[in-house]
Chains A and B, each alone.
Chain A
């Protein structure tokens, strides 16, 4: 029997980026907030100890900070004609676990999506005609870049993001991203120092008439104090960002930006190692009453709340809605239903590996987001009218790490082991650089999320089933990016250039990216979106769903900047609109 707890104003599932932002903003508004977090408490000095954090085996290989399949697994397949099977281990993507969520172990890219990304259906239809996008299931987000501008700004200033503006109030600034949406002010801290590999890329790109710029990074170029008064340290370029917690307080994470202030508030409480089982609705099904969760000891609780916020990882938010009977599950056969719809990933297949002679790239000097990027082939920043695809990719060259277990580039034809392999690694380590293309991922009818009919978790709840393959449009896009990489790479005169190409048949085993988006998308139409423009469920008016699950399409950029902006946007809507008049903020 679940113990029924006293009612709270706000109950949050998950204390990662969105949970921490919403908790901070809503406690400031005077509300009594509790966060229920499945994983453990995590603190810099204790859990990201400088003495043992750079343990590649423990954290990168054995994935110490991540969600384990024993806690929650998923089943996967490429198409509805297949039977989905549960994975033995998380591979293709790695969801976070514990306080801070994926915000602990991310690389730290703080992108703003392009203005066109938020209204892709309108933009592409207008520019290229409806026929060109008929194979895609595009929807506008119902919120515009201009509306979100100040929210992007809030997230950048929260995390102390290091970067250089390229479009300041419509003024183009050389050396910044001139293809970005207009911003009202520059980044809070200047860009990171570019590593040697990036400087070669910048030179090559400039020579080709492209517009390279330092990628915006929440790896701080200098010490910073954010608007909450929380201070952060200067990044040491140690190269242990992704899959690790930052030991130097230099990476923007909930721990380094919000929690020191939030945890001291009397109207905030976090319950860790407590897993939400479901959201309970009132009998009319139109509002949520409470969440049921189970603590580490196995005791079940019912926590009533006036407002419920789903702040888990995007995929978990979708599953929680499906498990709780909220909204209409998406059906790929009819194309109807909103929950599970428009699941997208990231198209990562295009890449280039360059090997030189006599260089000293020092790849061990790195930060998660240390790179030079071009947006010339990203989103709709370039003309697709003569091309056979829509979308694009951010093309980057940087130095995220040169770690001993994971990083040993070798020339083509090198044996996979033995003395020849060792010699090749020794010769190539200082002489190799990579250029990557992070491609957009656009929705199609057959890519979606639902509950698996067979496999269940340790509480007896159905697992989430992911049905996904790279859409043909995205494969054509990635191939075009491989062509661009080939041109850029060749112009840099390497001894050896290897360009990889994307192919159909998404494989859930090798790591690709943790940028899973969609499934509980935001929009103007309740038939094709699960939440309205304020992240409020169309069906349950006191439920808000945060995170990348809201994206109608994924851009050729890392999602966290947009996730952060949408969190501030939602917090503002709850504070300024919902609290004054609880109920649907947009008529269905």
Chain B
């Protein structure tokens, strides 16, 4: 009798341990997918939704995915959950918008989704009804999403590429599946579907998500795999620092990923082909904008970024060779100088130093010259910045978007 009890107890314990393992594996899946990033409002309860996403089609409010029955997904089964994440269809049959990255999540494995569901079941239920979406007509007609899905959405599980290493394939899975890197870094078509060239950079929510292919200098071509790992782990490497939306991604997601997974991501990205874009010729040093920009740079920027544009490790990002500066679109650069920015703060690099705002000090023409200079000095090479571009972003920042 005792033996039976002991065996029962052992098997219960083993079951509990297994559930525990699945739960912590699921927690890791939530980190990989950065679920909290969208499903938690600033200052809000984890997974209780309420964050407003700006899209070209209008604003969307992210739903509550805690286990609250009335306002969350407490009434959902695992099958309902699986269908929503991988097919973009809610429990009641309504279509989700692809702001929920189901076109990427569709590649996730059954096991990973099962553990993610096991984890979400343990999240504290929060009663929090989120407001409806504010999409413009006709995008506010959810039924139309069926058509969109038919046109642009391909439900498919991840399949390893033959001839590539297990590490490369893991990287491919992470980048294109749970990590949904392309949601920001791949340019979208007019209808919000992924464009033809993956990971070559895209504009969204007032930021330009840079190219992250092996392109040099715009992508990670000048970075070693270790540089990429350091960037994703700490937010910093010797080339760049994460700020803006990527700071959030690093803080909530990549900084908590295992070193093995980060390495896999790095290996995969290093193998992605560059965009076939003509590289722009450098603006000549004797261009009036360059001369003006140099003076402005010396008066405003050298104290931190150095006259040589090399910056300082873990404090002031370099400007020389920093891919963020050299994107086809200078919008991040303009935005950061106008509004300021805070570097990511991670356990590995907690400081989170900030770039102050210069909006009050530099007018549109000055800022354009300054950034033209920065984009074309120390071997940097990129298109000039115009006062009009600055004016446009200044206006949009003022209006709060």
A: which residues have CB within 8 A of B?
A: 43-46, 49-52, 223, 225, 228-234, 236, 238, 247-249, 260-261, 264
**Shortest Cβ-Cβ A-B pairs, 8 listed:** A45-B354, A231-B314, A49-B356, A233-B315, A45-B356, A231-B351, A236-B303, A51-B361
Expressed in whole angstroms, the minimum distance between the Cβ of B296 and any Cβ of chain A is 12
Give the distance in Å from the alpha carbon of A50 to the alpha carbon of B355 in the complex: 9
> CB distance A229 to B349 under 8 Å?
yes
Q: Which of the segments B137-145, B287-295, B340-348 contacts the partner chain?
A: B340-348
Expressed in whole angstroms, the minimum distance between the Cβ of A232 and any Cβ of chain B is 7
Asked whether A223 and B314 contact (CB < 8 A) given A230-B350, A264-B350, the answer is: yes
Please name 25 pairs of A and B residues whose Cβ atoms are closer than 8 Å in the assembled complex, sorted by A. Answer: A43-B354, A45-B353, A45-B357, A51-B300, A51-B356, A52-B361, A223-B313, A223-B314, A225-B314, A229-B348, A229-B350, A231-B313, A231-B314, A233-B304, A233-B353, A234-B312, A236-B303, A238-B303, A247-B303, A248-B303, A248-B304, A249-B351, A249-B353, A260-B350, A260-B351
> CB distance A228 to B350 under 8 Å?
yes
> CB distance A233 to B312 under 8 Å?
yes
> CB distance A44 to B353 under 8 Å?
yes
> CB distance A260 to B314 under 8 Å?
no
**A238 / chain B contacts, CB cutoff of 8 Å:** 303
Give the distance in Å from the alpha carbon of A225 to the alpha carbon of B349 in the complex: 9
Expressed in whole angstroms, the minimum distance between the Cβ of A62 and any Cβ of chain B is 19
Asked whether A50 and B348 contact (CB < 8 A) given A44-B353, A44-B354, the answer is: no
Asked whether A233 and B358 contact (CB < 8 A) given A45-B340, A261-B350, the answer is: no
Q: Name the CB-closest residue of B to A228.
A: B350
Expressed in whole angstroms, the minimum distance between the Cβ of A228 and any Cβ of chain B is 7
B335-382 at interface with A (beta carbon < 8 Å): 340, 342, 345, 347-358, 360-361
Asked whether A50 and B356 contact (CB < 8 A) given A223-B315, A231-B314, A248-B303, the answer is: yes
> CB distance A260 to B303 under 8 Å?
no
Expressed in whole angstroms, the minimum distance between the Cβ of A162 and any Cβ of chain B is 16
Instruction: Knowing that A229-B349, A248-B303 touch, tell me 17 more A-B residue pairs with CB under 8 angstroms.
Output: A44-B353, A45-B353, A45-B356, A50-B303, A51-B357, A51-B360, A223-B312, A229-B351, A230-B350, A231-B351, A232-B315, A233-B304, A233-B315, A233-B316, A236-B303, A260-B352, A264-B350
Give the distance in Å from the alpha carbon of A52 to the alpha carbon of B361 in the complex: 9
Other-chain contact of A260, B345, B358, B361 (Cβ < 8 Å): B345
Q: Name the CB-closest residue of A to B359.
A: A51
Q: Name the CB-closest residue of B to A43.
A: B354
Expressed in whole angstroms, the minimum distance between the Cβ of A244 and any Cβ of chain B is 14
Give the distance in Å from the alpha carbon of A542 to the alpha carbon of B303 in the complex: 46
**B313 / chain A contacts, CB cutoff of 8 Å:** 223, 231
Give the distance in Å from the alpha carbon of A305 to the alpha carbon of B355 in the complex: 38
**B355 / chain A contacts, CB cutoff of 8 Å:** 45
Asked whether A231 and B345 contact (CB < 8 A) given A46-B356, A51-B356, A264-B350, the answer is: no
Number of A-B residue pairs, CB cutoff 8 Å, is: 67
Expressed in whole angstroms, the minimum distance between the Cβ of A44 and any Cβ of chain B is 6
Expressed in whole angstroms, the minimum distance between the Cβ of B318 and any Cβ of chain A is 13
Give the distance in Å from the alpha carbon of A225 to the alpha carbon of B347 in the complex: 13
Q: Name the CB-closest residue of B to A261.
A: B350
Q: How large is the interface on B (under 10, 10 to 19, 20 to 34, 35 or more residues)?
A: 20 to 34
Give the distance in Å from the alpha carbon of A248 to the alpha carbon of B354 in the complex: 10
Give the distance in Å from the alpha carbon of A310 to the alpha carbon of B138 in the complex: 62
Q: Name the CB-closest residue of A to B303.
A: A236
**B304 / chain A contacts, CB cutoff of 8 Å:** 50, 233, 248
Expressed in whole angstroms, the minimum distance between the Cβ of B245 and any Cβ of chain A is 18
Expressed in whole angstroms, the minimum distance between the Cβ of A164 and any Cβ of chain B is 23
**A228 / chain B contacts, CB cutoff of 8 Å:** 350
> CB distance A231 to B356 under 8 Å?
no
Most interface-central of B300, B345, B349, B353 (chain A CB within 10 A): B353
Expressed in whole angstroms, the minimum distance between the Cβ of B100 and any Cβ of chain A is 29
Q: Name the CB-closest residue of A to B352.
A: A260
Expressed in whole angstroms, the minimum distance between the Cβ of A324 and any Cβ of chain B is 35
B98-144 at interface with A (beta carbon < 8 Å): none
Give the distance in Å from the alpha carbon of A52 to the alpha carbon of B303 in the complex: 13
> CB distance A230 to B303 under 8 Å?
no
Expressed in whole angstroms, the minimum distance between the Cβ of B362 and any Cβ of chain A is 9
> CB distance B315 to A231 under 8 Å?
yes
Give the distance in Å from the alpha carbon of A249 to the alpha carbon of B315 in the complex: 8
Give the distance in Å from the alpha carbon of A476 to the alpha carbon of B44 in the complex: 64
Expressed in whole angstroms, the minimum distance between the Cβ of B242 and any Cβ of chain A is 15
B239-294 at interface with A (beta carbon < 8 Å): none
Give the distance in Å from the alpha carbon of A238 to the alpha carbon of B340 in the complex: 22
**A51 / chain B contacts, CB cutoff of 8 Å:** 300, 356-358, 360-361
Give the distance in Å from the alpha carbon of A43 to the alpha carbon of B304 in the complex: 17
Q: Name the CB-closest residue of A to B341.
A: A45
**B358 / chain A contacts, CB cutoff of 8 Å:** 51
Give the distance in Å from the alpha carbon of A260 to the alpha carbon of B354 in the complex: 12
Most interface-central of B347, B350, B354 (chain A CB within 10 A): B350
Give the distance in Å from the alpha carbon of A233 to the alpha carbon of B356 in the complex: 15
Expressed in whole angstroms, the minimum distance between the Cβ of A70 and any Cβ of chain B is 28
**A261 / chain B contacts, CB cutoff of 8 Å:** 350
Give the distance in Å from the alpha carbon of A236 to the alpha carbon of B345 in the complex: 24
Give the distance in Å from the alpha carbon of A264 to the alpha carbon of B347 in the complex: 10
Give the distance in Å from the alpha carbon of A45 to the alpha carbon of B350 in the complex: 16
Other-chain contact of A264, B312, B316, B345, B360 (Cβ < 8 Å): B345
Q: Name the CB-closest residue of B to A238.
A: B303
Expressed in whole angstroms, the minimum distance between the Cβ of A368 and any Cβ of chain B is 16
**B349 / chain A contacts, CB cutoff of 8 Å:** 229, 231
Expressed in whole angstroms, the minimum distance between the Cβ of A442 and any Cβ of chain B is 41
**B357 / chain A contacts, CB cutoff of 8 Å:** 45, 49, 51
Query: Residue-by-residue, is B299-336 near A (CB-CB < 8 Å gives 1, otherwise 0)?
Result: 01001100000001111100000000000000000000
**B342 / chain A contacts, CB cutoff of 8 Å:** 45
Give the distance in Å from the alpha carbon of A46 to the alpha carbon of B341 in the complex: 10
Expressed in whole angstroms, the minimum distance between the Cβ of A245 and any Cβ of chain B is 12
**B316 / chain A contacts, CB cutoff of 8 Å:** 233
Give the distance in Å from the alpha carbon of A233 to the alpha carbon of B345 in the complex: 16
Expressed in whole angstroms, the minimum distance between the Cβ of B251 and any Cβ of chain A is 10
Give the distance in Å from the alpha carbon of A261 to the alpha carbon of B315 in the complex: 15
**B360 / chain A contacts, CB cutoff of 8 Å:** 51
Give the distance in Å from the alpha carbon of A109 to the alpha carbon of B312 in the complex: 24
Give the distance in Å from the alpha carbon of A50 to the alpha carbon of B303 in the complex: 9
Q: Name the CB-closest residue of B to A232.
A: B315
**A49 / chain B contacts, CB cutoff of 8 Å:** 356-357
Most interface-central of A231, A232, A234, A236 (chain B CB within 10 A): A231
**B345 / chain A contacts, CB cutoff of 8 Å:** 260, 264
**B350 / chain A contacts, CB cutoff of 8 Å:** 228-230, 260-261, 264
**A230 / chain B contacts, CB cutoff of 8 Å:** 350-351
Give the distance in Å from the alpha carbon of A44 to the alpha carbon of B348 in the complex: 21
**B356 / chain A contacts, CB cutoff of 8 Å:** 45-46, 49-51, 247
Give the distance in Å from the alpha carbon of A238 to the alpha carbon of B312 in the complex: 17
Expressed in whole angstroms, the minimum distance between the Cβ of A226 and any Cβ of chain B is 10
Q: Name the CB-closest residue of A to B360.
A: A51
Q: Name the CB-closest residue of B to A47.
A: B356
**A44 / chain B contacts, CB cutoff of 8 Å:** 353-354
**A233 / chain B contacts, CB cutoff of 8 Å:** 304, 312, 315-316, 353
Q: Name the CB-closest residue of B to A225.
A: B314
Give the distance in Å from the alpha carbon of A247 to the alpha carbon of B357 in the complex: 12
Expressed in whole angstroms, the minimum distance between the Cβ of A425 and any Cβ of chain B is 25
**B312 / chain A contacts, CB cutoff of 8 Å:** 223, 233-234
**A232 / chain B contacts, CB cutoff of 8 Å:** 315
Give the distance in Å from the alpha carbon of A248 to the alpha carbon of B312 in the complex: 11
Expressed in whole angstroms, the minimum distance between the Cβ of A452 and any Cβ of chain B is 42
Give the distance in Å from the alpha carbon of A231 to the alpha carbon of B236 in the complex: 12
Expressed in whole angstroms, the minimum distance between the Cβ of A224 and any Cβ of chain B is 10
Give the distance in Å from the alpha carbon of A176 to the alpha carbon of B303 in the complex: 29
**B361 / chain A contacts, CB cutoff of 8 Å:** 51-52
Give the distance in Å from the alpha carbon of A236 to the alpha carbon of B316 in the complex: 13
Expressed in whole angstroms, the minimum distance between the Cβ of A239 and any Cβ of chain B is 12
Q: Name the CB-closest residue of B to A50.
A: B356
Q: Name the CB-closest residue of B to A248.
A: B303
Give the distance in Å from the alpha carbon of A44 to the alpha carbon of B312 in the complex: 17
